[in-house]
Amino acid sequence: MADTHTTKNISQSIKPEILAPAGSKSSFLAAIAAGADAIYCGFKQFSARMQAKNFKLTELVSLTDLAHQHNAKVYLTLNSIIKSGELDSVGQTTGQIVAQVNPDALIIQDPSLIEIAHQSGFKGEIHLSTLANVSFRRGLDFVQKEMPVDRVVLPRELTVDEIKQMAMVCSPQMGLEVFVHGALCYGVSGRCYWSSYLGGKSGLRGQCVQPCRRFYRSGSKRKKFFSCQDLSLDVLAKVLLKVSAVRAWKIEGRKKGPHYVYYTVRAYQTLRDYSTDSHAKKSALQMLAYALGRKGTHYNFLSQRRQNPIDTEHQTASGLLVGHVKGARPKPFISPREKLLPKDTLRIGYEEDRWHTLLKINQTIPKGGRFYLKSAAARRPAKGTPVFLTDRRDEALTALIDDLSAKMTVRDALPDSIFRLKRPQIKIKNRPLLDLVVFRSTPKRHASQTCGQWLVPEIDIRLPKGRIAATWWWLPPVTWPSDEDKIFSQVKRVLAAGGKYFILNAPWQIEFFANKRGLELWAGPFCNIANFLAVKVLKQIGFKGAIISPELGRQEIITLPQNSPLPLGLVTNGLWPLCIARTLAGDLQIDTALFSPKRERAWVRKYGAHYWVYPDWQLDLNTKRKDLEKAGYRLFIKFQEPAPAGIKIRKRSGMWNWRVGLR
């Protein structure tokens, strides 16, 4: 293993935790071996990394006991959005967690988990996932005043100055968690629907198929326009030592192997504990280079020197590039740039290549040696295909993991606890049906139907008072600290002019409204509400209605109103974004057609600080209108989003997950 630094520790008044990922037993043990202060992991369901191996209950019990013996905390992720039909199962699982696992915290995004944790008797901490999108000061202030939450995981997109602004309003009872290393999603956390839109596999439920990592064509260019490098704050992380509200440095990577986990944890321990030692910094950087991640970027961390995480001229595949395929097709081989060891894992090519595969090495291959790739003729890689080292099992680390594994003890399983979910009391007045057409800018004339309008910092509100009072004002899907004062000012202007109808696209935006009396505040579709317990939480904090997540399938949509304590709405028509981002590839033009490998067409449009990626077909549930009315929906929304010149909206089924369901 790489050398670690052991000079005198630089004392810290409050050391942030080094929080390690674990998606498998070996990675969990590697985190303990590295001395992680805390480990986060998930079950095989209800986790936002369900494609990781994850854990069974009995295994997690033993691992948690072992972690506690080594003074490491364990945070369990239940950070998927939950469908109403899953609530009892989630409650049963949470009851088992309380009775047997005894984790130190639960990481959640769906507000229903707060209620379920309470009903299950959970006494540990509740951490609000980055997917919950608490991205601005007033939002954090609301969460710490009104929600039983102990920590907020901040979005990766924030600059260090924005992190400091968030910390200034953070009470001593609340902690902040900041990502310092690992994969970057193109879409803002909690605002990506790309994978779900293309086939029901939602990133908000840990099923993402990573369409952002594919090649796309724009004009004559064929590039990975949305594939980000890894976040790597490395030596810049020391700036966070001065921000006492930051309680944890989080390393992303629950799909990574033990090699990555061990070396990233050791690297950031060194950067935290010896932040002024130049030799220690060099050692830490060597460990990060050896951790087999993607090329790193500081992204937005430095406000004055932001880095675009998208480099379309270089590969952004995971792992260390160790060579390219050589030789003729019958006998392709690689000549590695560095020595390969038994049990190393190689990845051949990119995900969209037909020959893409993972390959275990069962022998030592010297640097510059020759290793032949054996595969079926149809899957033999083409000459020049890149080959990446994605995991390594060196002898020293393997010995540490084996030693810890031998110390694991097995406790007798307790009988399953009985969990009975308490349904909310339903008392809803029968409201009239309402159709709402939402515009980007002020309509030239007052349409016959009720109008909605996006309330963004750059919009100039010039409407008669009567129209301001009748308009439904839509707050943006994401609010950044740099924009929130402008948005707050816009809200105050609308309120002063008689506005009373507002759609909030993060629950925490309710903090913009000091006096809620006489107002109609609805949770918008970007709040990702998918079950009636989440609606109950919204009612408790002051909402009058909720627009459910359009990701849901038919069964969930039709049954959700049955137990809802608030009136519900649904987006039934219009262009819905594949994702919303805070960055754009430098060589990609907005409002220009993009083509996927399957000839799906999209484009990017800029609104304020955000880039919205749109498909060229609309969400359209108009043919299901009678079913929706019968189910109990009262508010039906249409987005009036113009397509760019030269891009024609295709006529195709726009039912999203109506038929396939949300997976």
CATH number, domain with residue 68: 3.20.20.70
- Mean pLDDT, to the nearest integer, of 472-491? 95
pLDDT at 121 over 70: yes
For residue 244, the model assigns a pLDDT of 95
Q: Does residue 142 sit in the same domain as residue 106?
A: yes
pLDDT at 5 over 50: no
Q: Does residue 401 sit in the same domain as residue 373?
A: no
Q: Which two tokens stand for residue 588?
A: 């990609």
- How many Cα atoms occupy the beta-carbon half-sphere of 194 within 13 Å? 26
Grade residue 4 by pLDDT with cuts at 50, 70 and 90: very low
Domain that holds residue 506: 434-640
Average pLDDT, the chain: 90
For residue 259, the model assigns a pLDDT of 94
Grade residue 402 by pLDDT with cuts at 50, 70 and 90: very high
pTM greater than 0.85: yes
Q: Does residue 376 sit in the same domain as residue 469?
A: no
Q: Does residue 456 sit in the same domain as residue 490?
A: yes
Q: How many domains does the chain have?
A: 3
Measured in degrees and rounded to the nearest 5, phi and psi for residue 52 equal -75, 165
Q: Does residue 462 sit in the same domain as residue 572?
A: yes
Q: Does residue 528 sit in the same domain as residue 632?
A: yes
Q: Does residue 461 sit in the same domain as residue 328?
A: no
For residue 179, the model assigns a pLDDT of 98
Q: Which helix (H) or strand (E) covers residue 234, if one does?
A: none
CA dist 489 and 36 (Å) reads: 44
Q: What tens digit of pLDDT does each residue of 555-580 get?
A: 999 999 999 999 999 999 999 999 99
Highest mean pLDDT of the ranges 27-36, 306-315, 458-467, 649-658: 27-36
pLDDT at 6 over 50: no
The answer to the question of residue 521 being in a domain is yes
As a whole-number percent, the residues of the chain with pLDDT over 70 amount to: 94
pLDDT at 429 over 80: no
The answer to the question of residue 146 being in a domain is yes
The answer to the question of residue 415 being in a domain is no
Q: Does residue 80 sit in the same domain as residue 176?
A: yes
Q: What tens digit of pLDDT does each residue of 44-56 get?
A: 677 655 455 567 8
- Residue at token pair 């008689």: 498
Of 496-510, 549-563, 645-659, give the lowest mean pLDDT range. 645-659
Task: Report DSSP letters for 48-64, one per residue.
Answer: TTTTS--B-HHHHHHHH
Q: Which two tokens stand for residue 215?
A: 């090649």
3-state secondary structure 319-368: CEEEEECECCCCCCEECCCCCECCCCEEEECCCCCCCCEEEECCCCECCC
For residue 418, the model assigns a pLDDT of 67
Q: Does residue 509 sit in the same domain as residue 553?
A: yes
- Mean pLDDT, to the nearest integer, of 425-430? 74
Q: Which two tokens stand for residue 40?
A: 């986060």
The answer to the question of residue 218 being in a domain is no
- Residue at token pair 């009315």: 629
For residue 234, the model assigns a pLDDT of 96
- Mean pLDDT, to the nearest integer, of 128-135? 97
Grade residue 379 by pLDDT with cuts at 50, 70 and 90: confident
* 391 or 614, greater pLDDT: 614
For residue 378, the model assigns a pLDDT of 64
Grade residue 9 by pLDDT with cuts at 50, 70 and 90: very low
CA dist 141 and 263 (Å) reads: 36
Q: Which residues of 30-47 are buried (b: 16+ CB within 10 A; e: fewer)?
A: bbbbbbbbbbbbbbeebb
- Mean pLDDT, to the nearest integer, of 147-175? 97
For residue 2, the model assigns a pLDDT of 44
Name the burial class of residue 354, with classes exposed (0-12), middle (13-18) and buried (19+) by CB atoms within 10 angstroms of its CB. exposed
Q: Does residue 402 sit in the same domain as residue 374?
A: no
| CATH for 441 | 3.20.20
Q: Does residue 60 sit in the same domain as residue 166?
A: yes
